[in-house]
Amino acid sequence: MKIRIFDDLYLLQRIDHLIRTRATGTPAQLAKRLNTCERDVYRLLADLRDQGFPIAYDKQSDTYYYMEQVKLDISIVVGSEKLLTIRGGEKRFNFFERLTKFGSQDSFLWRTIRFVIWLLPFSFSNICNAQNIVPNPSFESINFIDNRWSGTYRSFEKKVVDWDSPNNGSPDLLSTDNCNKMYPKRDELIFTDCTIRSGKIMVGIKTFGCRSRTTHCKEYIQCELLEPMEPGKNYRIEFWLKLVDGSVKTNNLGISLSTHKVRYASESVINFLTPKYNIDTIIDTYNWIRVNTTYRSDSNYAYLLIGNFYSDDSTKSVNDGNSYSFILIDDISIVPSNEYLPGNIETGKIYILKNINYETDKFILTDSTYTQIDSIARILQENMPLKIKIIGHTDDVGGKEYNMRLSQNRAKEIEKQLLMRQINKDRIIIEAKGDSHPLIKDKSPLARQANRRVEFIFLNPGE
């Protein structure tokens, strides 16, 4: 039996040895030494940190190191009683138990951390085949983190690996442990939920507040991609965000790309770059939401930037008493995409979004739906006259009026995703059918699952 988990265990042991001997080199050099991709390096480093390994990075020596003596001890148990936890869709196994003990070895105080790993009966895939070309995508590789706001762009760049600030703004590193303890205290920000999207670190940036003379009112994060984007090639770009309670609610959070590193010696807006993707709707959620799009590159872009590329005057805002907006960001990825975009669209034909698999009484989308929504948005972007009708359906569980509202919500959720992909609202028509048009007239679980669906129809102008 050959499964990737044993490759991972081998890589963990090699990484542990290189860290202890201070011989990792840069993340790119470490990936070459391990004969793997850089994304795997970051993932495995994050796994070690999650289990308590105190890993830091020495910029002067270009190596990772342990801040205290530790020893890796791995035990393997084969079974199926435990459920697997997959973080970010990438984790191939789950460290579900950690045993820590102290002892003496070679006159040093060692901390022994034993991984007890349950293997479950499913196959593993090599994510390097669809490599994320964003380095340190979850900000887990850091030099240090403290309870102070960055204050300067140099302070931010000293803390985190592979990321910088393209202007004089000062992005902040936050964790579940420090977000409620940041100093000096900002009374206007209320961290009611310090949940990280994945791992232990996230980044916060200000995106609005220049009119009220907020210090560092426009902050951005920038990284050099692991490899330049190729002209004419499709890429799936994604990150997660949530608003901090107390922030001004605004639109205009975007992704920009550059062929060269941006260094703008100002705290003001970087308005000389046009975002390749921009959120035009007001961001008003305090829960993590996914932002994603498919982009066809038109140049050899080597740098990614995230922030608000518009002035406050050009940004819509809802002021709840605060003077600026503060947004948290995590899990950034740019992955080459080979998805098929149909060239010949039939107007008037009913299409069904596949693999949504709504649960009864729910209208939350599943991960498998987002690629299809990207394709629909691309079709609408490339065929400007077209409109789209989105039709929501339910199964027969529940009352007629309730099912009508539920089907409306399902259609509106697709509309919301299209609006986030810059499709104008006047090109979208919403229709709710409730349980009146089942695909399968049966009361079995499979039939009800098929009847919980969203259909869409492309329409010519004027229809």
Task: Check which CATH number belongs to the domain holding 421 and give it.
Answer: 3.30.1330.60
Q: What is the pLDDT of residue 130?
A: 52
| Whether residues 206 and 229 fall in one domain | yes
Strands (DSSP E) found in 106-194: 108-119, 163-164, 172-175
Here the tokens at position 345 are 């669209």
Task: Please tell me whether residues 378 and 261 are part of one structural domain.
Answer: no
Q: Of 118, 175, 187, 115, nearest to 147 (Cα)?
A: 175
Of 125, 140, 174, the one marking the end of a domain is 125
- 39-64 as b/e, with b when 16 or more CB fall inside 10 Å? bbbbbbbbbbbbbebebbbeeeeebb
- Is position 131 within any domain? no
443-446: Cβ within 8 A, 24+ apart: 443/396
Last residue of a domain, one of 106, 125, 144: 125
Within a domain: residue 56?
A: yes
CA distances to 134, 137, 299, 302, 382 from 230, rounded to whole Å, are 15, 20, 6, 10, 20
107 and 231 fall within a common domain:
no
Task: Walk across the sheet containing 95-105 and list its strands.
Answer: 70-78, 108-119, 95-105
- 3-state SS, residue 355: coil
Side chain identity at residue 124, one-letter code: F
Supply the CATH number for residue 35's domain.
Answer: 1.10.10.10
Distance set, CA 252 to CA 103, 216, 325, 375, 422 (Å): 54, 17, 11, 23, 11
Neighbouring CB atoms inside 10 A of 361's CB total 13
User: Do residues 117 and 246 both lie within one domain?
Assistant: no
Both 319 and 379 in a single domain?
no
Strands 254-258 and 303-307: antiparallel
CA distance 458 to 387: 6
**Tens of pLDDT along the chain (463 residues)?**
233 455 566 677 788 888 988 889 888 888 887 878 777 788 788 778 777 788 888 888 889 998 877 767 654 444 333 333 322 333 333 333 333 333 333 333 344 444 443 333 332 333 344 578 998 999 988 899 999 999 999 999 999 999 999 999 999 999 988 888 888 888 778 887 788 888 889 999 999 998 888 888 999 999 999 889 988 888 889 899 999 888 899 999 999 999 999 999 998 999 999 999 999 889 988 888 888 887 889 999 999 999 999 999 999 998 766 789 999 999 999 988 754 334 456 778 888 876 555 555 555 666 557 777 888 888 887 776 788 999 998 888 888 999 899 889 888 888 988 998 888 898 999 999 999 998 888 788 777 878 888 888 988 776 6
**What is the pLDDT, as a whole number, of residue 444?**
81
CA distance 151 to 380: 43
CA atoms of 241 and 249, how far apart (whole Å):
13
Torsion of CA 271, 274, 279, 282, to 10 degrees: 30
Residue 415 CA to residue 410 CA, distance in Å, equals 9
pTM of the model: 0.55
Same domain, 329 and 369: no
Separation CA 267–CA 312 (nearest Å): 13
Residue 170 and residue 309 in one domain = yes
- The number of residues in the chain equals 463
Q: What pairing do the DSSP bridges indicate for beta strands 108-119 and 70-78?
A: parallel
CATH number, domain with residue 300: 2.60.120.260
Same domain (yes/no): 165, 306: yes
Q: Given CA atoms 181, 182, 183, 189 in this order, what sign does their dihedral have? A: negative
135 domain residue, yes or no? no
Contacts of 89 (CB under 8 A, 6+ apart): 367
Examine the domain organization and report whether 292 and 357 are in the same domain.
no
- Report the C-alpha gap between 463 and 387 in whole angstroms: 8
pLDDT at 156: 96
In a domain, 344, yes or no: no
Q: Which domain holds residue 296?
A: 153-336
Examine the domain organization and report whether 92 and 12 are in the same domain. yes
Give the orientation angle of helix 400-420 with respect to helix 370-382, to 10 degrees. Answer: 60
Burial class (CB in 10 A: 0-12, 13-18, 19+), 79: exposed
Domain assignment of residue 63, yes or no: yes
Same domain, yes or no: 116 and 227 = no
pLDDT given for residue 320 in this prediction: 64
Structure-token pair, residue 212: 């009220």
DSSP H/E element including 332: strand 325-336
Q: How many domains does the chain have?
A: 3
Smallest CA-to-CA distance from 161 within 107, 224, 214, 110 is with 224
